[in-house]
Amino acid sequence: MAKMKAAVILNPGGEFEIQEREIPQSGPDEIRIKVAACGICHGDELVRHGGFPGLSYPRVPGHEVAGVVDEVGSAVTEWKKGDRVGVGWHGGHCFVCDPCRRGDFLKCEKAAITGITRDGGYQEYILARHEAVALIPEGLEYADAGPLMCAGVTTFNSLRHIGAKIGDLVGILGIGGLGHLGIQYAAKAGYRVVAIGRGAENEALAKKLGAFAYINTKTANAAEELKKLGGAKVILGTAPNAKVMTDVIDGLGVDGKLLVVGAPHEPMEVSAIQLLAARRAIQGWPAGTAMDSQDTLEFSRYAGVRPMIEKYPLEKVKEAYERMISGKVEFRVVLTM
Ligand SMILES: [Zn+2]
Ligand SMILES: [Zn+2]
């Protein structure tokens, strides 16, 4: 049997180990992808820490997968060898539970999660369920497509469902892996984009990416500044800090929404008056299905939206991972095979 390399976590709290494994064979409803690139995401920390429902070990993390179809299961009709494809967090669904029967595949009661309940993309070949696969358009490189399968679809798909219209004031809170993509999508969608970050160092970049204004929370009160601009229709909360998220709520205008896509560990505190005063709401949004990812990839190609990345070979997974999780990178790290 032919062999491949895989970066594996053997147990909770463990370090990465590069293993030689047999190249797996696809089941009837799976495809095998020769991985070209896989982004590293803060979500991969779940594998290192353990405790997530459905997670078992050893496990190969990675849910920002991009590559080429290499083998197709006997029951698969929509993919063929040579297709350029991506796989994200949503790793497949059962089609028969109540949420699936309603068409809400993301909320499937038996949903597979790439890199959590199934092995992910930190390896040279991955098996993916056929319904969890998105087509990568020509003109989009694998290393760019990887992060778009999680950070990209999370910001693109949440923004397009939240009800902001062309010309609305939209705040992007946090200039990081999610935020730098959120600014681009929001600007290309025709919103008036205000970037909100800590420190002056990201102002020039935020404006280059499409923001017309930048609020530095070190020197200004973000809620007050947003009010001066008329109040935001939506604030995309990408910062992994509950206090930072709730501090901006008063900067939302009438019917404004705080759209939560970052995941602080601590609870968020908000007073009823803050919500009642202007019919404000707080809503979370988790990524999307394979088709949502495909829409994200297509729009990114069309509109010229790209993640800012650093590439590392799979063998340097420890270094790459440390670079990403420490937050030193601007803004995503991608493993290449
Ligand atoms: Zn992710
Ligand atoms: Zn289901």
Give the model confidence (pLDDT) of 159-206 as tens digits: 999 999 999 999 999 999 999 999 999 999 999 999 999 999 999 999
User: Which of 119, 124, 129, 122 lies closest to 31, judged by CA?
Assistant: 129
3-state helix, strand, coil in the chain (%, to 5): 30, 30, 40
Q: How far apart are CA 325 and CA 87, in angstroms?
A: 21
Q: Which ligand has the nearest atom to the CA of 324?
A: 1
Hey, what amino acid is at 75? A
Domains, the chain, ranges and CATH?
3-150+287-336 (3.90.180.10), 163-284 (3.40.50.720)
The confidence score (pLDDT) of residue 51 equals 84
Question: Separation of 312 CA from ligand 2 center, angstroms?
Answer: 36
Question: Which residues of the chain fall below pLDDT 70?
Answer: none
What does DSSP assign to residue 119? -
Strand partners, 309: 332
C-alpha to C-alpha distances, 139 to 57, 145, 182, nearest whole angstrom: 37, 10, 21
Residue 336 identity: T
Q: In whole angstroms, what is the distance from residue 130 CA to residue 38 CA?
A: 18
Ligand 1 center–CA 40 separation, angstroms: 8
Distance CA 239, CA 177 (A): 10
- Sort strands 309-313 and 281-284 into parallel, antiparallel or unpaired: unpaired
Identify which ligand lies nearest to the alpha carbon of 177: 1
Please name every residue paired with 26 in a beta bridge, in sequence order, or none if there are none: none
The Cα–Cα gap between 9 and 18 comes to 9
> Measuring CA to CA, how many Å separate 83 from each of 67, 137, 147?
8, 10, 19
Q: Which two tokens stand for residue 30?
A: 């799976």
Does residue 246 contact residue 270 with C-beta atoms inside 8 Å? yes
| Ligand 2 center–CA 77 separation, angstroms | 20
- pLDDT of 246: 95
- pLDDT (0 to 100) of residue 265: 87
**47 backbone dihedrals φ, ψ, rounded to 5°:** -70, -40
CA distance 233 to 251: 9
The CA angle 34-62-49, to the nearest 5 degrees, is 150
Look up residue 184 and give its two tokens: 């681009």
**What is the Å distance from ligand 2's center to 78 Cα?**
20
pTM, to two decimals = 0.96
Q: Are strands 309-313 and 112-113 parallel, antiparallel or unpaired?
A: unpaired
Distance 289 CA to ligand 2 centre (A): 13
Q: Would you call 280 helix, strand, or coil by DSSP?
A: coil
**pLDDT value at residue 104:** 95
User: From the CA of 150, how far away is ligand 2's center (Å)?
Assistant: 21
